[in-house]
Structure 1
Amino acid sequence: MSKPESESSSSSVIKSYKFRHGRTPIKKGYEANAMHNTAVDLALNSVVKVFTVSCSPNYLLPWQNKSQRETTGSGFVILGRKILTNAHVVADHSFVLVRKHGCPTKYRAEVKAVGHECDLAILVIENEEFWDGMIPLELGDVPFLQEAVAVVGYPQGGDNISVTKGVVSRVEPTQYVHGASQLMAIQIDAAINPGNSGGPAIMSNKVAGVAFQNLSGAENIGYIIPVPVIKHFISGVEENGKYIGFCSLGLSCQITENVHLRNHFSMRPDMTGVLVSKINPLSDAYKVLKKDDIILSFDGVPIANDGTVPFRNRERITFDHLVTMKKPNEKAIVRVLRDGQEHELSVVVQPIQPLVPVHQFDKLPSYYIFAGLVFVQLTQPYLHEYGEDWYNTSPRRLCERALRELPKKANQQLVILSQVLMDDINAGYERLAELQVLKVNGTEIDNLEHLRQLIESCDTEFLRIDLDDDRVIVLSYGMAKVATSRILKRHRIPSSISVDLLDTE
């Protein structure tokens, strides 16, 4: 899957998107032309071009940002005087402008809500002049296979509006590249080019989805975010005043297609389901379900041995889709087979954050510096600094923990010593970088703020820090405190502590 598509307006910072140029299939006849005309008519009074100035943080040097860059995308007006676009179009934004079709003026926009998991964002514009003549688009239904849609937006290659026609070829949960989440998506046989992101896919006279990414290495395969995901995002924002997230059971499940596996767990021939292999300790399921339970059904819908449930006209979809479409703190009825006995259990579904965050958009990374030792929270964006092939080039132990380790308690973080800013005080410790921090003066740390508190409240002559791999750092506490300001000044670092940690003081 390629990265989400938004277009850079500066040639020096254009991303290397892996879309392939090719002919877009054109459906001939009256129906195709009628759809094209409808899409154009709707688009002229609804679809806008979004101009974003963004500034991403530098995770290896967390006290500074990377260079500013300019990108463009698309968006469209929905009910309530809002503009819907992609989250990746406005991620890490510092300034957002919007221009409507046929108008030379750009209007300042504010980002009201962002859902990075579902790659959606809502913009609002206060200027009354902008709304003159703008017509909101209505959300429709999920299109069936082989139905035609028209994707409208402002792709690269020109400044005017563009309409691309395609046919729905697949509807299933797909990896959302921007938010690293698995949600329902619609695959169409039309390329979603850079700049198209956030534009509507129109079927008849309603929105069938939002264009957001394409498939790298494939000819004209694009993806759109379907209406159920859009409605879930919008209703969540309206009910809570902000984006809350998509729910999860907090489970890792294994398919039960092997007959010996099913026999071992006493599954009758008429039974189907999936095997619970791991449960997140922070989830409600941790109190209700057990490892080796067989989940037979979710909210009365039987789960097949391959983990799928019925969907529409003889289609199937993974049962995770049923979970993600539920509201936070809503109850679900789960039927399980445990030790040969069937049980009907009630589980509360909630958005569950992983131990190591998969993204950190629109916020600065946390850091704490003491005696030249730079401590940070481990996040996947930190590992992404090792390049496109970060899975193979980043520190192996950190990568494995980021992808597989589960939290043991709330507010837990994996804290690492990311680098050592050289000085006499820390000479000999420079090779201990990129190791997890376990203890400070014998106390196990919970998170970065806890580490800071333990260091700053040290009342002994020596400060001892225990790291992963049985490594130890010992410093004269008094000398280390004096050295900290000297090192900060030498490296032109404005503060030894990130703003978010300062706010907790």
Structure 2
Amino acid sequence: MATREEDVVVPIITNTSPEDTSHSNSSPEMNTELIPAFNPDVSVLHIEAWGIEYSHTRPHVTPFSSGSSGSGFVVMHLDETYIVTNAHVAEAERLTVKFPRGDNTKYEATIISIDSSCDLALLKVDNVAFNERAVPIPLLERSPKIDDCIEVHGFPMGGKTVSKTRGTVSRVENQHNYAHSNIQLPVAQLTAAIAPGNSGGPVICNNMLIGVAFQGIRGVEGSGQIIPVSIVKHFLMHNKMIGDVHHSSFPELNIKTSKLNSLTKTSLGLASTTTGLKVKSVPLLSCSGTLLQENDILTHIDGIQIHDDATVMLEDGMFEPYDVLIKRKHIGDTVSISFIRGNDSHACDITLNKAHGANDLVPLIPSYVQPSFYWDSGLLFQTLTKNFLSSTYSNTAKIKKYRNISRDEDNEEVVFISSIIPKSYAQDADGNNIYNDDAKDYKNMKISHVNGTKIKTLADLIITMQNTTSASIKLTFDDDDADDLEIPKASHLENLMLMREFSIAELCSSSYNRFIREISFADVPEMCLFHNSLTQLEILEEVSPPAPPPTTNDVEVDRGDSIDGSEPHSPNQVDSEAELDGTHIDHADAEETDAVVNNPIMTGEQNVMRPTSNLFQFQQHLD
């Protein structure tokens, strides 16, 4: 059921005074005598993010400007002052940070490292005055525990001053869905109020950082969730070792397994007391290489028994999926696997050199990255992403099956037809118009060949289409039940005419321009240029000979929101016919959300409405 925007819980925000210090949580295991009192005025930051965003269902549409705000805090890393916030707050072209009071300067911040998998980003301000004023927050040595007294600091919606809410840790999960990446990682749930705008803000316990606010469950009070300090430390350590700007801090074994039951054990000749997992397949690019094989029975990981339900027992007595032990490691670490092959027991050490999602056939891309697309002969070809799957209402059953598949080759992509222009641009031998209506039955199907040429990437398709000399193109699909599709091949001139008539801003995404044969819009006959659409006239003004000025009867086109505070943009929002698992809410993209059990939403507030599940991000959208 879709959740209405008014169903979002609006928490009560309590403003802090400069004299307030962190609420003390007496803990016999912690000596806080040498820890200075937490002061939000010099440790908590208001972050504004400005940039452009693209439509993943209509990538040819001109991107729109967007602004959002969130929270952040100061940490000491590699003996220097840095800022930590959420990845969904920092994914932008321009970032500024500002202290709550005492300094009204907006400082430019640079992204040093960003990890979408754990929704964290590391920023740096290259300014002496900022670094002299900023006071890092020390990191708590342990993970959150139930009943820990905490304070949430940040800049939620409803005001411009820093806020503080108090509560306790009500739940700790070793594996829980992160809305930004759909990866399962530890979270802690709080009774303290968290609202859009709190994203990236510090959660304090005993004057030290215990976590980072980032998401909550829509419509459920006391469901604010935080990234535990252990994940923050993991992120910072990975940055120290690797230093990538865009990366995942968490490795994965990348093998396909199935659970064991009594019948399976009998058929495999295993003792009833044997527990573990059966290896179904090992992708070619898996970090395990040839060390593991199909039908191997995994029994232990790092000496810890794997149970038949694919869980291991952790130190706290909780049973969690076995890959939680993998995610505790860093890229480049090794893991010890014990397994049975045939009637023999074996063990091997595997180097975890693959980051989470690195081998995914269908990637998740940041909202500010232009989706890959190409227009030709009235067909819109795209590279499949998780962003597309979570943004469209159209029937995606034929390509959803690729979502959880690993690539067999580097740079392999799923290329498919996402949209069709029902327009005749060719004639048969008798002079009758030919339409490409038949192509509608092939939407959202993976293309395997074009005119007999194997298609592994969108670049392969573009090069093949651009260089073909035949009068038609034949598309073959990765579906045994699908016939080949043959349609007339539009010339370069005809493609440009279609672009003009249907207000298509670009023939392809900018990264593929080098594959396009050069031809000017000036070559298009003027009689084909203009129609009674102001949208088309406005687009043509910059690229064609002077056009007749629009009349007052023409419809005004909404050009979208901008950083100067103009009206929000609507054309680049999700198509009205798009298919939605959750609801429209104000927040950053929460991709891959249909698998979410509790439907958390990330803490955020933006000026753009997009479909997501009930997981929301607490970052605030700017007007």
String of CA shifts for 1:136-179, please: whole Å, max 9, x gaps. Answer: 11222212333222222112222222222232222311110011
User: What is the identity, as a one-letter code, of the residue corresponding to 1:74?
Assistant: S
Give the deviation of 1:222 after TM superposition: 1.9
Equivalent in the alignment of 2:315: 312
Equivalent in the alignment of 1:77: 74
Give the deviation of 1:423 after TM superposition: 3.5
String of CA shifts for 1:34-64, please: whole Å, max 9, x gaps. Answer: 3599997332221101112243211222133
Check if 1:248 corresponds to 2:252.
Answer: yes
2-side partners of 1:72 and 1:17: how far apart?
21
Check if 1:501 corresponds to 2:531.
Answer: no
TM-score (norm 2): 0.70
Partner SS for 1:41: coil
2-side partners of 1:39 and 1:54: how far apart?
37
Equivalent in the alignment of 1:104: 104
Instruction: Decide whether the 8 Å contact of 1:77 with 1:83 is kept in 2.
Output: yes
Alpha carbons of structure 1 residues 476 and 314: separation in structure 2 relative to 1, 3 Å? closer
Give the deviation of 1:203 after TM superposition: 1.8
Alignment equivalent of 1:282, drawn from 270, 276, 285 = 285
1-side partners of 2:350 and 2:515: how far apart?
34
String of CA shifts for 1:59-99, please: whole Å, max 9, x gaps. Answer: 222133454332221100111221100011123x2332211
Q: Which one scores higher on RCO, CA 8 angstroms, separation ≥ 6?
A: 2
Check if 1:384 corresponds to 2:390.
Answer: yes
> Percent identity between the aligned chains?
25
Alpha carbons of structure 1 residues 123 and 193: separation in structure 2 relative to 1, 3 Å? same
Check if 1:34 corresponds to 2:34.
Answer: no
TM-score (norm 1): 0.85
Equivalent in the alignment of 2:371: 365
Partner SS for 1:455: helix
2-side partners of 1:39 and 1:273: how far apart?
49
Give the deviation of 1:183 after TM superposition: 1.4
Partner SS for 1:424: coil
2-side partners of 1:394 and 1:43: how far apart?
48
Alpha carbons of structure 1 residues 472 and 173: separation in structure 2 relative to 1, 3 Å? same
Check if 1:445 corresponds to 2:455.
Answer: yes
Alpha carbons of structure 1 residues 41 and 207: separation in structure 2 relative to 1, 3 Å? closer
Q: Structure 1 regions of 5+ residues with no counterpart?
A: 4-14, 25-30
Instruction: Decide whether the 8 Å contact of 1:96 with 1:109 is kept in 2.
Output: yes
Partner SS for 1:403: coil
Equivalent in the alignment of 1:9: none
String of CA shifts for 1:210-249, please: whole Å, max 9, x gaps. Answer: 1111123422022111223222222222333314312111
Structure 1 segment 325-344 matched on structure 2, within 5 A: 325-344=328-347
Alpha carbons of structure 1 residues 53 and 411: separation in structure 2 relative to 1, 3 Å? same
Larger radius of gyration: 2
Equivalent in the alignment of 1:353: 359
Alpha carbons of structure 1 residues 493 and 232: separation in structure 2 relative to 1, 3 Å? same
Partner SS for 2:348: strand
Equivalent in the alignment of 1:10: none
User: What is the identity, as a one-letter code, of the residue corresponding to 2:348?
Assistant: L
Question: How many aligned positions are there?
Answer: 478
Alpha-carbon RMSD: 3.0
Check if 1:61 corresponds to 2:54.
Answer: no
Instruction: Decide whether the 8 Å contact of 1:58 with 1:64 is kept in 2.
Output: yes
1-side partners of 2:482 and 2:505: how far apart?
32
Q: Structure 2 regions of 5+ residues with no counterpart?
A: 14-20, 27-31, 427-433, 517-623
Instruction: Decide whether the 8 Å contact of 2:11 with 2:194 is kept in 1.
Output: no
2-side partners of 1:379 and 1:186: how far apart?
30
User: What is the identity, as a one-letter code, of the residue corresponding to 1:203?
Assistant: C
String of CA shifts for 1:339-377, please: whole Å, max 9, x gaps. Answer: 232110232321133111134433111111222221110
Give the deviation of 1:33 after TM superposition: 4.0
Equivalent in the alignment of 1:12: none
Instruction: Decide whether the 8 Å contact of 1:40 with 1:163 is kept in 2.
Output: no
Partner SS for 2:231: helix
Equivalent in the alignment of 1:158: 159
